[in-house]
């Protein structure tokens, strides 16, 4: 079996390459390439490990014909076009916890620095002055810290601030009351936070909702004398407005580790009194850089070798332990999606994926992705579990996932139903022996069949002699039958025939089969 091949394109701890090799991957470390050089090289790799220097653009992704996963050693993925990667079927991972403590500690350090004006005092002292009376700071004890973003890093900052005897007010749309109590913080809306905070620190990603969250309008709502720290992402603060607020004295001090444009060779804030800056040092500790490099190697190797998905930004997580258990279900799900996609007529408007019995206890998202991958292969030859949901969404397909607690006729069952202009079409399957996918129902008719290779699907009137006629027809065309599977609603009613053959079915066979007496539908299938 060919080993997955990984390219490390940015400088990172050398132990990352060792982990890739130990876990069954071939790895090349080639850093500092131009976009053109990377595009020329990337086509041979299954995985790409990066930090912040490599920009994964649509041009790079178009050239990455074998790429399956991108791993960012760190949190921010501004340098990866995630929607485009998703459309290309590439998993994008980050390492959100490897530098959490380091970044949180940097935020606390800047809170201290802005409270006591440490950089300015240091500069003037080393210049030979003794400006003791010029630097009157403030204590942190008893002050209110306004936390914008209470995720992993924000929660660590909150715990450190509480240890400094500060009060913490947090704004985060996803922060529950129970979690706020657990953290020891007060949950508040943004306006309340702005009006009460003596210090404000930001710990949120840059999205359309958070861009300029500290706008000129919101900065005007802050408490006079507020001090502001940002170690999260550039673009969360209106930098021009912040300068004006510093100049007016409304904001008593500000410390930024990140800027809207980086590297920040110039900024309206540079040179402003009571302003402190650092060059994006939030994750810059020896421990953090080792942690994120090792984590990204472990995650990528886990995915490429075992199918485990951890910290992916564009597909659900799937542990290496869970992956083997889910694998046969995903195989069944993809075959059912493919079957219904090949047989459904008319415009697809909705798809429902139901899980019963043992299947109901498993993660639904991977199964849903596998069904959609099978279905969407009728529309794209580059579809997989990652991009199938995006392709379905682009086409306006309404996807519904249903989990049934109660076990039905089978110990485990997956049912896929599509709504079309011609009505609903439903197929269902189970696992035999826990790992052998098997169709058990088509359009309300019970029929057991293995979905594999080339198959012929026929709907006909149930009448004596039909099986002999179809067998003779295939024999005349030199087509050998592998398996023969039958089902019917009632005696003499509508019957379904699903048979496997040893080679692709020519159009002439379809034409001749359609001409047989009692035949309603003939369709060649391929799995």
Contacts of 404 (CB under 8 A, 6+ apart): 354, 355, 356, 360
- DSSP per-residue codes, 25-61: -EEEE--S--HHHHHHHGGG-SEEEE-SS--B-HHHH
What distance in Å separates the CA atoms of residue 55 and residue 50, rounded to the nearest whole number?
A: 9
What distance in Å separates the CA atoms of residue 26 and residue 249, rounded to the nearest whole number?
A: 57
Alpha helices in 249-306 (DSSP H): 286-301
Q: What are phi and psi of 407, to 5 degrees?
A: -80, 140
Provide the pLDDT for residue 320: 62
What distance in Å separates the CA atoms of residue 363 and residue 368, rounded to the nearest whole number?
A: 9
Q: DSSP E strands: which ranges in 289-422?
A: 348-357, 398-403, 412-420
CB 71 within 8 A of CB 54: no
What distance in Å separates the CA atoms of residue 382 and residue 384, rounded to the nearest whole number?
A: 7
Provide the pLDDT for residue 74: 87
Alpha helices in 53-99 (DSSP H): 58-63, 82-87
Q: Name residue 6's beta-bridge partners.
A: 27, 47
What distance in Å separates the CA atoms of residue 186 and residue 292, rounded to the nearest whole number?
A: 31
What distance in Å separates the CA atoms of residue 161 and residue 414, rounded to the nearest whole number?
A: 50
Provide the pLDDT for residue 205: 81
What distance in Å separates the CA atoms of residue 87 and residue 126, rounded to the nearest whole number?
A: 55
**Nearest CA among 111, 68, 115 for reference residue 93:** 68
Provide the pLDDT for residue 283: 86
**Nearest CA among 299, 297, 329, 292 for reference residue 315:** 299
The encoded tokens of residue 381 equal 């030859």
Taking the whole predicted model, whether its pTM rises above 0.75 is answered as: no
* 57-66 contacts at long range (C-beta below 8 A, 24 or more positions apart): 57/81, 57/84, 58/84, 59/35, 60/35, 61/85, 61/88, 61/90, 62/88, 63/39, 64/88, 64/90
Give the number of other CB atoms < 10 A from CB of residue 5: 16
Provide the pLDDT for residue 381: 57
Domains identified in the chain and CATH numbers: 5-95+288-306 (3.40.50.720), 100-277 (3.40.50.720), 321-439 (3.30.1330.90), 452-527 (3.30.70.260)
Which residues are the active-site residues? 233, 262, 280
Provide the pLDDT for residue 511: 93
Per-residue pLDDT of the chain (527 residues; tens, 9 = 90+): 689 999 999 999 999 999 999 999 999 999 999 999 999 999 999 999 999 899 999 999 999 999 999 999 988 788 999 889 988 889 999 987 888 899 999 999 999 999 999 999 999 999 999 999 999 999 999 999 999 999 889 999 999 999 999 999 999 887 888 889 999 999 999 999 999 999 999 998 887 788 999 999 999 999 999 999 999 999 999 999 999 999 999 999 999 999 999 999 999 999 999 999 999 999 889 899 899 999 999 999 999 998 888 888 887 776 666 777 888 998 899 999 999 988 876 667 789 999 999 898 888 888 988 898 888 877 665 577 777 777 777 667 889 989 987 777 888 999 999 887 777 889 999 998 878 899 999 988 999 999 999 999 999 898 888 889 999 999 999 999 999 898 888 777 888 999 999 999 999 999 999 999 889 999 999 99
pLDDT, tens digit, for every residue of 357-414?
989 888 888 898 889 888 887 766 557 777 777 777 766 788 998 998 777 788 899 9
């Amino acid at each position: 079996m060919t080993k997955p091949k990984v390219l490390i394109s940015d400088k990172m701890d050398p132990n990352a390459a060792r982990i890739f090799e130990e876990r069954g991957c071939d790895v090349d470390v080639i850093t500092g390439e131009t976009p053109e050089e990377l595009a020329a090289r990337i086509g041979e790799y299954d995985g790409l490990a990066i930090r912040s220097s490599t920009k994964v653009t649509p041009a790079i992704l178009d050239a990455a014909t074998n790429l399956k996963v991108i791993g960012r050693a760190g949190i921010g993925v501004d340098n990866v076009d995630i929607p485009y990667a998703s459309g290309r079927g590439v998993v994008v991972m980050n390492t959100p916890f490897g530098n959490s403590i380091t970044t949180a500690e940097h935020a606390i350090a800047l809170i201290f620095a802005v409270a006591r004006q440490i950089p300015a005092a240091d500069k003037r002292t080393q210049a030979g002055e003794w400006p003791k009376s010029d630097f009157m700071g403030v204590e942190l004890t008893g002050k209110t810290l306004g936390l914008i973003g209470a995720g992993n890093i924000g929660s660590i900052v909150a715990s450190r601030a509480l240890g400094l005897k500060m009060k913490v007010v947090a704004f985060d749309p996803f922060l529950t009351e129970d979690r706020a109590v657990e953290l020891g913080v007060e949950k508040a809306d943004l306006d309340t936070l702005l009006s009460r905070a003596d210090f404000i620190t930001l710990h949120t990603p840059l999205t359309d909702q958070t861009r300029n969250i500290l706008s000129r309008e919101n900065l005007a709502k802050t408490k006079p004398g507020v001090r502001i720290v940002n170690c999260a992402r550039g673009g969360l603060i209106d930098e021009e407005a912040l300068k004006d607020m510093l100049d007016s004295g409304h904001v008593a001090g500000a410390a930024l580790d990140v800027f809207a444009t980086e590297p920040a060779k110039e900024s309206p804030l540079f040179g402003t009194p009571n302003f402190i800056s650092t060059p994006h040092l939030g994750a810059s500790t020896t421990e953090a850089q080792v942690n994120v490099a090792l984590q990204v190697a472990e995650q990528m190797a886990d995915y490429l070798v075992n199918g485990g998905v951890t910290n992916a930004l564009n597909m659900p997580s799937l542990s290496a332990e869970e992956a083997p258990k889910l694998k046969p279900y995903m195989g069944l799900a993809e075959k059912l999606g493919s079957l219904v996609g090949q047989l459904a007529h008319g415009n697809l408007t909705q798809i429902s994926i139901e899980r019963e019995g043992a299947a109901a206890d498993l993660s639904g998202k991977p199964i849903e992705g596998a069904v959609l991958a099978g279905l969407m292969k009728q529309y794209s030859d580059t579809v997989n579990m990652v991009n199938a949901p995006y392709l379905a969404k682009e086409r306006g397909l309404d996807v519904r996932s249903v989990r049934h607690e109660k076990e039905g006729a089978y110990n485990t069952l997956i049912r896929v139903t599509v709504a079309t202009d011609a009505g609903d079409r439903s197929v269902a399957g189970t696992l035999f022996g826990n790992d052998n996918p098997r169709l058990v129902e088509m359009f309300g008719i019970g029929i057991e069949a293995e979905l594999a290779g080339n198959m012929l699907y026929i709907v006909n009137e149930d009448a004596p002699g039909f099986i002999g006629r179809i067998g003779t027809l295939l024999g005349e065309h030199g087509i050998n039958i592998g398996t023969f599977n039958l089902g019917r609603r009632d005696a003499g009613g509508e019957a379904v025939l699903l048979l496997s053959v040893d080679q692709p079915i020519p159009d002439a066979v379809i034409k001749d089969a359609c001409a047989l007496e009692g035949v309603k539908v003939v369709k060649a299938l391929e799995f």
